[in-house]
Amino acid sequence: MSINEIQDELIAEFSMLTDWVDKYEYLIQLGKDLPPIDPQYKTDDHLIKGCQSKVWLHAELKQDGKIYFTADSDAIISKGLVSLVIRILSGHTPEEIAKADLYCIDRIGLKEHLSPTRSNGLVSMIKQMKLYAIAFQSQLKHA
Partner 1 sequence: MNTLSTISAFTYQHKRIADYFPALQQKVYGQPLIYFDNAATTQKPQTVIDAIARYYSTINSNVHRGVHYLSQLATEASEETRRRVARFIHARYAHEIIFTRGTTESINLVAYSYSKAFLKPGDNVVISAMEHHSNIVPWQIACEDHGATLRVIPMNERGELLLDELDHLVDEHTRMLAITWISNSLGTVNPVREIIEKAHQLNIPVLIDAAQAAPHMPIDVQAIDCDFLAFSGHKMYGPTGIGVLYGKEEWLDRMPPYQGGGEMIKSVRFEKTEYNDLPFKFEAGTPHIEGTVCLQAALDFLESLPLADAFAYEQQLLEYATRQVSQIPGLRIIGQAAEKASILSFIIEGTHPYDVGVLLDKMGIAVRTGHHCTQPVMDFFGIPGTVRVSLAVYNTPAEIDRLTSCLDKALSMLK
Catalytic residues: 51
Interacting residues with partner 1 between 18 and 77 (CB under 8 A):
20-21, 24-25, 28, 52-54, 74-77
Question: Cα dihedral angle (53, 19, 16, 75), rounded to 10 degrees?
Answer: 10
CB 80 within 8 A of CB 31: yes
Among 45, 63, 101, 119, binds partner 1 (CB under 8 A): 119
Closest CB 73 distance from partner 1, rounded Å: 8
Closest CB 138 distance from partner 1, rounded Å: 34
Interacting residues with partner 1 between 79 and 118 (CB under 8 A):
none
Rounded to the nearest 10 degrees, the angle between the axes of helix 3-15 and helix 76-89 is 140
Report the alpha-carbon distance of residue 142 to residue 104 in Å, rounded. Answer: 33
List of residues contacting partner 1 (CB under 8 A): 20-21, 24-25, 28, 52-54, 74-78, 119
